[in-house]
């Protein structure tokens, strides 16, 4: 059992690694070509902008005195350990494992930022007229896609059990 679980887990870790590389490459490019706050108009609803987020989603706790950096790192490390265990024990469940791989890559991508810079680098900026969505990055997108897939997986599981 352990051998097949670890073998099945490798493809999900590979996916997480590819997503992590995409996230980090995008952030390297943003750091190289943009100053903080600088943006490029792409469409009427999308800008590329360099934002430093010391908080969590939607800049939650961004104004705190610095302790939040280590708090969020701790939460992410705990999540990574749990996700690795879940991937090992459920590697055959495709949608669930896809979701876990996405969330894993996002958690690690944002932890790397926090450890290297003290903040997360965000750069995708959606807006429409006066409405503005907080800037985000590839890691945030992976976490969001993973969470949506977890919900779908649970809905499918409940439906199958009826």
Among residues 113, 122, 125, 153, the one annotated as catalytic is 122
- pLDDT confidence tier of residue 5, bands split at 50, 70 and 90: low
* Residue-range domain boundaries for the chain: 46-161
125 is catalytic: no
Average pLDDT taken over every residue of the chain: 89
What would the mean pLDDT of 98-127 be, rounded to a whole number? 95
What would the mean pLDDT of 88-107 be, rounded to a whole number? 95
pTM: 0.87
153 is catalytic: no
Please name which of 8, 31, 5, 20 lies closest in space to residue 146, comparing C-alpha atoms: 20
Query: pLDDT tens for residues 52-76?
Result: 987 666 555 555 556 666 787 888 9
Range of weakest confidence among 62-76, 106-120, 122-136 = 62-76
What is the pLDDT, as a whole number, of residue 1?
45
Among residues 23, 113, 125, 140, the one annotated as catalytic is 140
Q: What share of the chain is helix, strand, coil (3-state, %, to 5)?
A: 65, 15, 20
Quote the CA–CA distance of 64 and 84 in Å, as a whole number: 30
Please name which of 81, 88, 82 lies closest in space to residue 10, comparing C-alpha atoms: 88
β-partners of residue 46 are: 43, 126
């Amino acid at each position: 059992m352990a051998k097949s679980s670890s073998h099945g887990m490798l493809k999900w870790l590979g996916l997480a690694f590819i997503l992590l590389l995409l996230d980090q490459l995008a952030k390297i490019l943003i750091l190289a070509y943009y100053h903080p706050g600088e943006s490029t108009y792409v469409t009427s609803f999308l800008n590329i902008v360099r934002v430093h987020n010391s908080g969590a989603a939607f800049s939650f706790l961004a104004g705190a005195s610095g302790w939040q950096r280590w708090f969020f790192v701790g939460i992410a490390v705990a999540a990574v350990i749990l996700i690795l265990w879940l991937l090992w024990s459920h590697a055959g469940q495709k949608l669930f494992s896809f979701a876990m791989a996405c969330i894993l890559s996002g958690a690690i991508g944002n932890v790397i930022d926090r450890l290297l810079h003290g903040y997360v680098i965000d750069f995708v900026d959606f807006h429409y007229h006066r409405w503005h969505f907080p800037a985000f990055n590839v890691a945030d997108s992976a976490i969001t896609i993973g969470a949506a897939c977890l919900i779908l997986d649970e809905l499918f599981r409940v439906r199958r059990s009826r």
